[in-house]
Amino acid sequence: MNIKDILSRLPHRYPFLLVDRVLEADEDKIKALKNVTFNEQFFQGHFPDNPVMPGVLIVEALAQTGGLMAFNRIDEDNVNNYLVYFMAIENVKFRKPVVPGDNLILDAELLKRKRNIWRMKGIASVKGETVCEAEFMAMIREKE
């Protein structure tokens, strides 16, 4: 899935779109990429002399990745009729900082689904090492 496909599914836009490419995907798992560059707006203030990607944005990147996975269960012709809403987050752990130049790999997998409520686990990694993990819930519903 390239950036055009991502933009057709997620409502996020720069500077809040945090997924650059989907590397692998099926209905229950997805692997995406965020290329972290020094030009990211958040590095202007977090922190100017020691730039570190804010942890909440790593979690948001995982949530966006999970949202893209949910769209894999929707007929291609109908993806523009739905939105995915982030509902809850649990068991978040930050292991290492993410800095400019890192290729942030975002893995999400479906743990449980009940109707339109999804429970997922996300793991963000850099060079094969986990930098963040979280469990989160999302709701997919038709646009009003």
Query: Active-site positions?
Result: 46
Note the residue count of the chain. 144
Closest by alpha carbon to 55, among 4, 98, 104, 110?
A: 98
Task: Name which of 19, 8, 100, 116 is nearest 65 in CA terms.
Answer: 19
10 Å Cβ neighbour count for 78? Answer: 10
